[in-house]
Structure 1
Amino acid sequence: MRIMAFDYGTKRIGIAVTDPMQIIATGLDTIHPNLIIDFLKKYMLTEQVERFVVGEPKQMDNTPSQSAPHVKGFVNLLKRTFPETPIEMLDERFTSKMATAAIMQSGFKKTDRQNKERVDTISATILLQSWMEQRRF
Structure 2
Amino acid sequence: MNNVNITRAAGWIAIVGSAFHLVATPFSRGSAWSEVFSQGWWNTVTLEPTPERLPVAEAFWLTPGSFAAPLLLFGALVVWSANQGHRVPAAFGWGITAWGVLAVSLLPASPGWMFPLIGGLIIAGDRQRVKVSA
* Structure with the largest fraction of strand: 1
TM-score using structure 2 length: 0.29
TM-score using structure 1 length: 0.28
In our comparison, the structure showing a higher alpha carbon Rg is: 2
* Structure with the largest fraction of helix: 2
